[in-house]
Amino acid sequence: MPEIKDILLGNQRAGARMIRLIEEGSPKAFPLLKQLYPHSGNAFIIGITGSPGVGKSTLMDALILEFRKRDKRIAVIAVDPSSPFSGGAILGDRLRMQRHATDEAVFIRSMASRGQTGGLSRATKDTAIVLDAMGYDIILIETVGAGQGEFDIASLAHSTGIVSIPGTGDGIQAVKAGILETGDVFIVNKCDRPGADASVHALTMMIGMRNRGTQLSNPSPKWTPLVLKTKALDGTGVDELADTFLSHFDFLKKNSLTDQTKRTQETLYFKSLLNDLTLEKIRSFMEASPKYDAVLKKIQTHEMDPISAAEHVVNTMIILK
């Protein structure tokens, strides 16, 4: 079992053990998390998202170096989509990041959801709390934009960077998917490819349109998303990107928006915990219940269809007060 005091001291082994408990959905994680929670809330959480192939991992790698130059302690959560096929390639990217493995101020964890009720979203949030309590200045969370509709990185991060590459019409796709609303920094990576300036132009225009809409209805100070070009492979533009993220964080703090974000996030976290704890409570109760067993048997013998059976259990065995 990881010791709370070791985690709070930033001990990577203790942190890794704690995160493993979270990933496994172990009931042991919960009381520990409760103790760590009051020590969290200081880190700057950055989400990096985009389709496979836009070079997210290379960009993360370059960002780590940049933030290290600024003497920041960095933790990385790479959210693995538990892909049956692409797992290998992703692991390769992770390995590349391991060049930071000997740097004690950098801590990289690859996440997969195994068993936890709330899935990747809950596990990632819980892990961010641990890393935050460990004292990292910056937590970078990398997610795949595609195929994870339910994983809302914007609700976890202070700042969300959306990565695309030139000439894929990502700008228009971003509008369609509503992702334009969630981005604070738009990154056109592999910017030496043809069409980079057109991508920047299209994104800038769409951000302008988005902001005109919100400016009218909301008079409070508003961050205007920036569009940056990078070539992560040789580090081009990554210093500016790091600066941009840091000035976004300053902007949020100066306008008390970090507090507002925190309140929103806490309510969301509470609701997702409530769902997960409820399902866990029900699961362990049902497993021990002869009444539940009887219902399961009736489904097997076709005395009851699964829909009526579920309705019956919910109506008779779950009381709210």
Report d(CA 98, CA 92) in Å as an integer: 10
Q: How far is CA 275 from CA 122, 148, 279, in A?
A: 11, 19, 6
CB closer to a second copy, 99 vs 277 = 277
* Residue 159 contacts residue 249 (beta carbons within 8 Å): yes
If binding is defined by CB under 8 A, does position 260 make contact with a second copy? no
CB closer to a second copy, 148 vs 211 = 148
- If binding means CB under 8 A, how many residues of this protein chain bind a second copy? 72
If binding is defined by CB under 8 A, does position 296 make contact with a second copy? yes
Subset of residues 150 to 169 that bind a second copy, contact rule: CB under 8 A? 150, 164, 168-169
Which of 9, 95, 101, 146 binds a second copy (CB under 8 A)? It is 146
What is the three-class DSSP state of 315? Answer: helix
Subset of residues 167 to 206 that bind a second copy, contact rule: CB under 8 A? 168-170, 172-174, 176-179
Subset of residues 39 to 98 that bind a second copy, contact rule: CB under 8 A? 49-52, 81-88
Q: Which region among 15-23, 59-67, 198-206, 291-299 touches a second copy (by CB under 8 A)? A: 291-299
Which of 16, 105, 154, 273 binds a second copy (CB under 8 A)? It is 273
Q: How far is CA 141 from CA 27, 152, 275, 280, 295, in A?
A: 24, 11, 23, 27, 43
CB closer to a second copy, 173 vs 236 = 173
Q: Report strand pairing: 44-50 vs 159-164.
A: parallel
Measured torsion, CA atoms of residues 7, 13, 17, 22, in degrees rounded to the nearest 10: 60
Cβ at position 42, least distance to a second copy in Å: 15
If binding is defined by CB under 8 A, does position 319 make contact with a second copy? yes
Side chain identity at residue 208, one-letter code: G
- Give the pair of three-digit tokens for residue 230: 């990078």
Which of 9, 95, 205, 279 binds a second copy (CB under 8 A)? It is 279
Report d(CA 63, CA 57) in Å as an integer: 10
- Give the pair of three-digit tokens for residue 184: 């604070």
Report d(CA 4, CA 33) in Å as an integer: 9
If binding is defined by CB under 8 A, does position 1 make contact with a second copy? no
Cβ at position 306, least distance to a second copy in Å: 4
Subset of residues 117 to 136 that bind a second copy, contact rule: CB under 8 A? 119-120
| DSSP per-residue string spanning 186-210 | EEE-STTSTTHHHHHHHHHHHHHHH
If binding is defined by CB under 8 A, does position 313 make contact with a second copy? yes
Which of 9, 198, 205, 277 binds a second copy (CB under 8 A)? It is 277
If binding is defined by CB under 8 A, does position 278 make contact with a second copy? yes
If binding is defined by CB under 8 A, does position 208 make contact with a second copy? no
CB closer to a second copy, 101 vs 146 = 146
* Residue 232 contacts residue 62 (beta carbons within 8 Å): yes
Cβ at position 228, least distance to a second copy in Å: 18
Specify the length of the chain in residues: 321
Side chain identity at residue 122, one-letter code: R
CB closer to a second copy, 35 vs 98 = 35
Cβ at position 59, least distance to a second copy in Å: 15
What's the distance, CA 310 to chain centroid? 33
Q: Report strand pairing: 159-164 vs 185-188.
A: parallel
CB closer to a second copy, 209 vs 279 = 279
Subset of residues 9 to 48 that bind a second copy, contact rule: CB under 8 A? 30, 33-34, 37-38
Cβ at position 247, least distance to a second copy in Å: 25
What is the three-class DSSP state of 44? Answer: strand
